């Protein structure tokens, strides 16, 4: 009893199901063709020539070149990511792993080609390196020295530029790469916010971060560290001042990273706290006098800000990367020109160093002809002088 009607019900259900499946399939197919048509139409719309003319133009190529356009900024940024490889080294301490450093990992740190946290304790969540040095502000110099040595030993090959940041520094990596793109990492040069005290050539303030070229790091470690007449082996002192002395001692030039209006790109304070006027201590420390016709503290192509608290990392992230203003297109789609005359300002160091540089080029920069076919000068003979 009840078997037959049960079976009938089953058959009915099966038919309904099959019907449904067909229906879904058909509607999906129709949707696809509609999309196909739409994207074909879009393609046509974005073609510079009306479709009626296209076949004619294809047959006889135009005598003048079509307008060249820059690739969309996101593609340009992706290309730069590959071409200007930056290792970011963030100095932190066990006390601030989870109050500061972790926020770097969750925000701008992810845009580095390689991100390393230098601490005195290993931390799995953060992925920090435990350096064998003493903790504390007064030990910042030995810590920085150890960190740079670590990076040189383990990660020198794969990167072109080496950025040092503190765990309260915010860096706009795309602006850093665009700026660096104009320079050759084979030049002994470093960039940051240049202060005038203590070191004749100036030094880059620690908080805004500084970035060393591959050659700068190479000279620093090979010629400076381990030679106490160049780099002090004292275990105290201001990290940025000592590094400035040390780099000057090995012929590394402190480059000028100001923008075309003379405004700073590496900023040792945060505009979230000081805008438009910088803190009082700032101007007197500057190596280059700030332009007095400007009402702005900071470049529109700023690279870094300092003294950010945890929340501010996310505020900056939101304002810089997410917030859009309707109807305004403020994208920067073009790379700055290559610096062709940066060389004359560079100091010629001892002949021995130059030889070492030449060897360094051959041995330590294997990616020379692999990853940078487009922009890098292939002429390395200038290091022979």
Ligand X SMILES: *[C@@H]1O[C@H](CO)[C@@H](O)[C@H](O)[C@H]1NC(C)=O
The site for ligand X (CB under 6 A) is made up of 78-79, 82, 227, 229-230, 261, 291, 293-294, 369-370, 379, 381-382
The total of other beta-carbon atoms located within 10 Å of residue 239's CB is: 21
The total of other beta-carbon atoms located within 10 Å of residue 226's CB is: 11
Please say which residue, 71 or 279, places its beta carbon nearer to ligand X.
Answer: 71
Please say which residue, 82 or 311, places its beta carbon nearer to ligand X.
Answer: 82
Please say which residue, 17 or 277, places its beta carbon nearer to ligand X.
Answer: 277
What is the crossing angle of helices 173-180 and 73-83, to 10°?
Answer: 70
Least Å from the CB of residue 92 to ligand X: 29
3-state helix, strand, coil in the chain (%, to 5): 45, 10, 45
The rounded distance, in Å, linking the Cα atoms of 68 and 310 is 43
Please say which residue, 230 or 315, places its beta carbon nearer to ligand X.
Answer: 230
- For the record, the structure tokens of 157 come out as 């090959």
The rounded distance, in Å, linking the Cα atoms of 230 and 367 is 30
Please say which residue, 84 or 304, places its beta carbon nearer to ligand X.
Answer: 84
Q: For strands 304-305 and 170-171, give the pairing.
A: antiparallel
No. of H helices and E strands in the chain?
11, 12
The rounded distance, in Å, linking the Cα atoms of 364 and 368 is 9
The rounded distance, in Å, linking the Cα atoms of 28 and 47 is 29
- The closest of 189, 221, 244, 224 to 364, measured between CA atoms, is 221
Least Å from the CB of residue 18 to ligand X: 44
Please say which residue, 230 or 332, places its beta carbon nearer to ligand X.
Answer: 230
Least Å from the CB of residue 187 to ligand X: 13
Please say which residue, 10 or 78, places its beta carbon nearer to ligand X.
Answer: 78
Least Å from the CB of residue 352 to ligand X: 9
Least Å from the CB of residue 372 to ligand X: 11
Cis peptide bond N-terminal to 83, omega within 30: no
Least Å from the CB of residue 294 to ligand X: 5
Least Å from the CB of residue 381 to ligand X: 4
Least Å from the CB of residue 78 to ligand X: 4
In this structure, are residues 285 and 205 in contact, taking their beta carbons and an 8 Å threshold? yes
Please say which residue, 48 or 291, places its beta carbon nearer to ligand X.
Answer: 291
Least Å from the CB of residue 227 to ligand X: 4
- The closest of 183, 163, 6 to 88, measured between CA atoms, is 163
Please say which residue, 57 or 230, places its beta carbon nearer to ligand X.
Answer: 230
Burial (CB count <10 Å: 0-12, 13-18, 19+), residue 56? exposed
The rounded distance, in Å, linking the Cα atoms of 141 and 225 is 12
Please say which residue, 91 or 216, places its beta carbon nearer to ligand X.
Answer: 216
Least Å from the CB of residue 281 to ligand X: 23
The stretches of the chain forming alpha helices (DSSP H) are 3-46, 51-59, 73-83, 102-106, 140-155, 173-180, 214-219, 239-249, 282-285, 310-317, 351-364
Residues pairing with 163 in the sheet: 88, 211
The total of other beta-carbon atoms located within 10 Å of residue 206's CB is: 25
């Amino acid at each position: 009893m009840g078997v037959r009607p049960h079976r009938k019900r089953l058959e009915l259900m099966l038919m309904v199901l099959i019907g449904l499946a067909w229906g879904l399939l058909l509607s999906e197919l129709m949707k696809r063709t509609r999309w196909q048509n739409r994207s074909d139409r879009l393609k046509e719309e974005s073609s510079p020539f009306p479709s009626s003319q296209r076949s004619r133009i294809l047959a006889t190529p135009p005598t003048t070149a079509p307008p060249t356009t820059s690739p969309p900024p996101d593609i340009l940024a992706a290309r730069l990511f590959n071409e200007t490889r930056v290792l970011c080294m963030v100095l932190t301490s066990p006390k601030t792993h989870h109050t500061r450093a972790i926020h770097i990992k969750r925000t701008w740190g992810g845009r580095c080609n390689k991100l390393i946290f230098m601490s005195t304790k290993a931390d799995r969540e953060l992925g920090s390196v435990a350096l064998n040095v003493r903790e504390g502000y007064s030990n910042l110099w030995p810590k920085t020295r150890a960190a740079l040595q670590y990076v040189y030993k383990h990660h020198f090959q794969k990167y072109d530029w080496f950025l040092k940041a503190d765990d309260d520094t915010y860096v706009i990596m795309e602006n850093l790469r665009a700026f660096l793109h104009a320079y050759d990492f084979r030049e002994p040069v470093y960039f940051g916010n240049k202060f005038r005290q203590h070191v004749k050539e100036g030094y880059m303030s620690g908080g805004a971060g500084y970035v060393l070229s591959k050659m700068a790091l190479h000279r620093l470690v090979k010629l400076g560290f381990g030679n106490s007449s160049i780099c002090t082996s004292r275990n105290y002192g201001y990290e940025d001042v000592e590094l400035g002395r040390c780099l000057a001692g090995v012929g590394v030039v402190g480059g000028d990273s100001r923008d075309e209006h003379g405004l700073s790109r590496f900023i040792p304070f945060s505009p979230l706290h000081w805008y438009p006027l910088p803190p009082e201590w700032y101007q007197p420390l500057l190596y280059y006098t700030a332009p007095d016709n400007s009402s702005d503290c900071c470049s529109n192509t700023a690279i870094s800000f300092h003294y950010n608290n945890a929340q501010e990392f996310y505020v900056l992230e939101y304002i810089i990367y997410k917030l859009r203003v309707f109807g305004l297109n403020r994208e920067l789609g073009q790379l700055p020109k290559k610096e062709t005359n940066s060389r004359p300002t560079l100091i010629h160091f001892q002949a021995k160093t130059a030889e070492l540089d030449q060897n360094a080029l051959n041995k330590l920069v294997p990616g020379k002809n692999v990853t940078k076919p487009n922009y890098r000068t292939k002429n390395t003979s200038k290091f022979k002088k």
